Structure 1
C-alpha cells in the first residue's frame, strides 16, 4: 500500500513539474521575459539615447547591451557575424557600407549634426564660392567629404574646382589648416572652436547652415528586421529616451558621460552641436509607405551616386533594400505610438 502511494506521489510530482514547464515555456509567458539585444555604437552622444532608456526603464521588455566599437571595421565585423544586432552609421556612409556588402536595414534616425561639423577658412575666404581653386583639406569617404560636396554643389562648384587635400580624419584636416598648409578644412568640434580661439582663421559655415546632410542612423540585422513587433518596441523605447533627454538635458548628459566613459563637459559640448531626432523628425525622413519615396532614399541615392563618381564604391547599392518597411509603416501611421 505504501509503495502504491509513493508511485502516485511521484506521478503527481511529474504532473506538477510538467505543468510549470508548460506555463513557463508558453508564448505568453516567454513574451514577458526581456529580449536581449546588443547595439554597437561609437563614442558620440547621438548614439547614446539607449543608455538613458536602459537606466530609466524606458524599453518595454528589452535588455539592451551597449558595446562601444569606435573602429569601423571592428563594428562591421561584429555586425556581419551576428555579435551585435544593431549597428550605427550615417546615411551617406551606409551607402558605401551597403555597396561593400554589409547587409542591414536602416530603421531609425538617431541625430543630425547641427553645428558640430563645418568648414574653417582663411579670413580672405568670405563665402563658400571663394573656395574655388583653394587648397581644402577633408577626410576622404567620410561625412565631412559628403558635406563638402553638398556645400560646393549649392554654390555652383564641383570637387574638381578646388585643390583637394585628402586626409584620413577630420582632426587631421584641422591640423593641416592650423599648420598653414591649406586654405580651408572640413572638420568638427573641438577644432571649429580652436580655430576661432587661436585666431588662425574663421568658421566659414557649419551644419547649422546645412542641416540634414550629416544624419546618423541605426541599422538592424536581418534577424531583427524580420521581427517587426520587437523592432517597433525598440523604436518606442528609443524615442521615449530622446524625449527624456530633451526634458532633462543636464541629468542625461551625466548618464551619457558615464556610459561612454568620457567627461561630462565633453558630452555637453558635443550635444550642443547635434540635434537628437525625435518622432516628428524621424517621420520627416521615413514618412512614405514605399521606402523609395522616403527622404532617406533620396539621400542614400545621392550619396551613392557621389561615392561612385569619386571611385569610392564600384557599384550602386539597391536603395530599396536598405530601408526598413517596418519603420516606414511605423512613421507613416497617424500620431505617435
Structure 2
C-alpha cells in the first residue's frame, strides 16, 4: 500500500511538472506567433507615392515590425476604392478627395492614419498647342475622371481665375481613356496623374498648363484603414505606420535598390521613375503632425477636407457630406513622434 501511495504521488508530481512545462511553452511566442495570424490586406495602385510599399514586402519590413500584411495591387485605382468601401480590404492607399467621396457608404468606416505624400507636380492639366492660359480653356473639351483629384485640380485652377467648371466642357473618362482621347485629339485638354501624363505629352505641341505644384496640399495621398481594423487591432495599425517610416529610411540609405523595387512594381523603367521624383513630396513625421491639425489653408487636412467636400457636393458627386471629424486619426503618428523625440 505504501509503495503504491508513493508511486501515485510520483505520478502526480510528474504529470503536474509536464502540465507546467506545457503551459509555459504555450506562453512562449514562436517566431511566427507574434504576427497576427490573419493577414491585414491593404490595397495600393499606380501612384509614385504608394509604390514604396512594395519595398516593405520585398525587404521584410512588415515582418520586422511583427505585423502580417498582405499587399494587394490594383491595376485600376477605382477598383481599390470600391473594394475598401465594400469591406473587401482592411485598408487602401487613396487620396483625401476619394476618402471623403467613399467614407459615407463604407461598410467598416474609412479613417486616415497616415499621409504618405502630397502631389507636388505629378498631377497635371495637359493642353493642346493653342491653349496657353486657363482663360483659353473656356468652351474647350477637357477629359477628366469626374469627381476625383484631377477634376478637383481643374476646379481649383478655374476658380483662381474667376471661372468655374461650367465654363468648360467636361468629358468624363477613366484616366487612361482620358489620356487616349487627348492623344488622339478628341479633346483639347486632359487631367492626369503620373505616369499617365507621360503619354499625354506625346501629342505634338502638347504642354503642361498647371500642376498640383501650384496648389500645395490640394492632393494628399494617404493610408486609409477601416475603423473596424483600428478598433480591433490598434497595435497592428501602429506597426504598419512605423513600417512606412522604416520604408522611407530604407529609401534614403539604399536608393538604388529602392528605385529598382519601385520601378518593377510600377512596371516602368528606373529612368522614368526618376521623372516622377520631383512631383512627390514625401511627408516626414513632422509634416504628418502638421497635416492632421486644423488650419486655414490646404496644407491642413481638416481645412482641405471641407473644401473638397463642398466641391463634391456642389457638382453632385455627393448627396450628403460625411462626418469629417470621423475620418482622421492622428494618434498613431503622434505615438511614433513621441517615441522618437
Q: Report what 1:98 is aligned to.
A: 103
**Is 1:222 the counterpart of 2:227 in the alignment?**
yes
Q: Return closer, same or farther for 1:69/1:120 CA change in 2, 3 Å cut-off.
A: closer
Gap runs ≥5 in structure 1: none
Q: Report what 1:299 is aligned to.
A: 304
Q: Report what 2:190 is aligned to.
A: 185
Distance in 1 between residues matched to 2:198 and 2:268, nearest whole Å: 18
Matches within 5 A, 1:317-328: 317-327=322-332
Q: Report what 1:24 is aligned to.
A: 26
Matches within 5 A, 1:201-216: 201-216=206-221
Q: Report what 2:44 is aligned to.
A: 41
**What's the CA shift string for 1:268-293, capped at 9, x where partnerless?**
444453332222322221246x9xx9
Shift of 1:29: 8.6
TM superposition score normalised by structure 1:
0.83
1:192/1:203 contact within 8 Å kept: no
**What's the CA shift string for 1:29-74, capped at 9, x where partnerless?**
9998123432122233422433323444544222322121344565
**What's the CA shift string for 1:68-99, capped at 9, x where partnerless?**
13445654565456553222211001110013
Shift of 1:177: 2.2
2:47/2:195 contact within 8 Å kept: no
Q: Return closer, same or farther for 1:11/1:334 CA change in 2, 3 Å cut-off.
A: closer
Shift of 1:317: 0.5
Q: Return closer, same or farther for 1:209/1:257 CA change in 2, 3 Å cut-off.
A: same
Q: Report what 2:240 is aligned to.
A: 234
1:118/1:203 contact within 8 Å kept: yes
Matched position secondary structure for 1:47: coil
Distance in 2 between residues matched to 1:324 and 1:73, nearest whole Å: 24
Q: Report what 1:277 is aligned to.
A: 283
TM superposition score normalised by structure 2:
0.82
Matched position secondary structure for 1:62: coil
1:46/1:111 contact within 8 Å kept: yes
Aligned length: 330
Shift of 1:132: 2.4
Q: Report what 1:68 is aligned to.
A: 73
Shift of 1:325: 4.4
Gap runs ≥5 in structure 2: none
Q: Report what 1:173 is aligned to.
A: 178
Matches within 5 A, 1:123-162: 123-162=129-168
2:81/2:98 contact within 8 Å kept: no
Distance in 1 between residues matched to 2:47 and 2:267, nearest whole Å: 10
Matched position secondary structure for 2:216: coil
Distance in 2 between residues matched to 1:320 and 1:24, nearest whole Å: 42
Q: Return closer, same or farther for 1:46/1:181 CA change in 2, 3 Å cut-off.
A: same
Bigger drift between 260-269 and 124-133 goes to 260-269
Q: Return closer, same or farther for 1:6/1:262 CA change in 2, 3 Å cut-off.
A: farther
Distance in 2 between residues matched to 1:79 and 1:127, nearest whole Å: 38
Distance in 1 between residues matched to 2:144 and 2:212, nearest whole Å: 15
